[in-house]
């Protein structure tokens, strides 16, 4: 078993032991990447994409397309093509932040090294500060209903559950979460908010948490309430969007302020997914401290649909077969699954922003690639009014984009086409 390095000091959870770490002032996002001629031509060759592509600045469109070429030894080589990628162009990442939060929750379990503490350990979250909500121990013959780190990760990756994210944000703690991202090479990322109407001070406070050994039911780990005593700076400075926003049931005639919101550039999220799918292709300093079964677990729930997972909470018709696979299917309950295509992805939808970061693999067609995209669909320029063009513009665009790149990949000539292994074929994981 690969040795795990202890990077997460337990004392860092206590206010008095907050480490003296500072994000570098020079960690400012680079200028916009030059558009790839290939990707630009693919986008303009499909008439269905042109209404958005020709107004790309208005839609704040960003796309990353990564070709994957394998040699005869099956080692992957990556060629990245970008369109309007610019880390200085803020977009609200929404649920994209659930991917690094899930990963780092597993890392923390591993590095705490507490007997009886695993992703299956029942978990109780307390509440001691404003805006905090409790999540008590749940006893149930249905293991899916028990609050555990593993179940919270499943809920986040299968249906993008916000409360599950809040619980793991609180388990990680605001400062340790962001410091670990900086150590991994993402110093400008900011995951500083729950998905709840909490102010910036309340989000710096995280709840007391207790775990029980799943066998003995005895408490195996207690984590006290924590506080980040030094608020983070924000790499883009002041960020406002729109000409008005809705709050308290009325329209406020001034832009919405995203300055202290979560921030996760599209390239960061793409690199995080790549590090889960292809850990050996990532430089050692950016690899996660995970065991092989952690990678398998994450891959499984990044790929599976709610019904295919057989997770008991998500058996209703609301969670249709193509749920949360925007790049290729959009969000149509009647879409038919391509039975040979597997998509491993995380999505975001909030404030008019729509994003999907995905890895595609089809062993029948000998195709694999990564595709990430974000666009802004808010014609009236009012934030939080619930009036966005997700269904009429955003989701159809993402579906068409994924289909267009997939069709190109099927026809794309390769120097060699070794069989893509079933490494990523979903396998049952508890």
Question: Domains along the chain?
Answer: 32-424 (3.40.710.10)
Comparing 173-182, 272-281, 305-314, the range with the smallest average pLDDT is 305-314
Specify burial of residue 216 (Cβ count, 10 A radius: 0-12, 13-18, 19+): exposed
User: Which residue do the tokens 């860092």 mark?
Assistant: 12
Q: Are 269 and 99 in contact (CB under 8 A)?
A: yes
Calpha distance 420→362 (Å, rounded): 8
| DSSP, residue by residue, 291-339 | -HHHHHHHHHHHH--HHHHT-GGG-STTS-TTTT-HHHHTT-TTPPP-T
Quote the pLDDT of residue 124: 98
Closest C-alpha among 318, 286, 424 to residue 368: 424
Calpha distance 51→60 (Å, rounded): 13
How would residue 178 be classed by pLDDT, with cut points 50, 70 and 90? very high
CB neighbour list of residue 234: distance below 8 Å, 6 or more residues apart: 190, 259, 260, 263
How would residue 13 be classed by pLDDT, with cut points 50, 70 and 90? very low
Q: What's the length of the chain?
A: 430
Give the tens place of pLDDT for each residue, 319-362: 998 999 999 999 989 888 898 999 999 999 999 999 999 999 99
Closest C-alpha among 263, 397, 272, 420 to residue 341: 420
Greater confidence (421 vs 142) lies with 142
Quote the pLDDT of residue 429: 45
Quote the pLDDT of residue 404: 98
Give the tens place of pLDDT for each residue, 392-413: 999 999 999 999 999 999 999 8
Give the tens place of pLDDT for each residue, 385-396: 999 999 999 999
Quote the pLDDT of residue 71: 86
Mean pLDDT across the stretch 217-240?
A: 96
């Amino acid at each position: 078993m690969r040795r795990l390095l202890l990077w997460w000091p337990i004392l860092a959870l206590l206010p008095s032991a907050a480490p003296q770490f500072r994000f570098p002032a020079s960690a400012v996002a680079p200028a916009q990447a030059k558009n790839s001629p290939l990707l630009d031509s693919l986008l303009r060759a499909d008439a269905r994409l042109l209404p958005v592509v020709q107004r790309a600045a208005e839609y704040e469109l960003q796309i990353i397309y990564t070709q994957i070429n394998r040699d005869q030894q099956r080692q992957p080589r990556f060629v990245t093509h970008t369109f309007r990628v610019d880390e200085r162009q803020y977009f609200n990442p929404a649920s994209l932040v659930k991917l690094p939060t899930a990963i780092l929750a597993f890392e923390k379990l591993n590095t705490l090294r507490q007997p009886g503490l695993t992703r299956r350990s029942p978990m109780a979250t307390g509440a001691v500060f404003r805006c905090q909500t409790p999540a008590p121990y749940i006893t149930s013959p249905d293991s899916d209903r028990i609050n555990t780190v593993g179940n919270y990760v499943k809920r986040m990756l299968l249906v993008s559950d916000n409360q599950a994210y809040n619980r793991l944000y609180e388990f990680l703690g605001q400062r340790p979460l962001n410091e670990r991202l900086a150590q991994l090479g993402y110093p400008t990322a900011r995951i500083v908010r729950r998905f709840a109407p909490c102010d910036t001070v309340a989000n710096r406070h995280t709840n007391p948490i207790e775990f029980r050994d799943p066998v003995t039911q005895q408490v195996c780990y207690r984590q006290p309430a924590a506080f980040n005593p030094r608020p983070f700076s924000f790499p883009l400075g002041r960020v406002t969007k729109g000409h008005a926003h809705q709050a308290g049931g009325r329209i406020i005639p001034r832009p919405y302020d995203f300055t202290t919101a979560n921030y996760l550039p599209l390239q960061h999220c793409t690199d995080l997914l790549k590090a889960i799918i292809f850990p050996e292709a990532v430089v050692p300093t950016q690899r996660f401290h995970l065991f092989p079964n952690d990678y398998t677990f994450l891959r499984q729930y990044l790929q599976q649909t709610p019904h295919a997972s057989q997770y008991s909470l998500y058996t209703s018709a609301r969670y249709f077969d193509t749920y949360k696979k925007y790049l290729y299917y959009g969000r149509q309950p009647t879409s038919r699954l391509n039975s040979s295509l597997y998509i491993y992805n995380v999505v975001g939808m909030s404030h008019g922003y729509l994003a999907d970061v995905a890895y595609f693999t089809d062993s029948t067609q000998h195709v694999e690639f990564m595709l990430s995209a974000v666009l802004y669909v808010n014609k009236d320029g009012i934030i939080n009014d619930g009036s966005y063009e997700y269904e009429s513009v955003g989701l159809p665009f993402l579906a068409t984009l994924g289909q267009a790149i997939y069709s190109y990949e099927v026809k794309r000539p390769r120097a060699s086409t070794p069989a893509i292994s079933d490494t990523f074929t979903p396998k049952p994981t508890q």
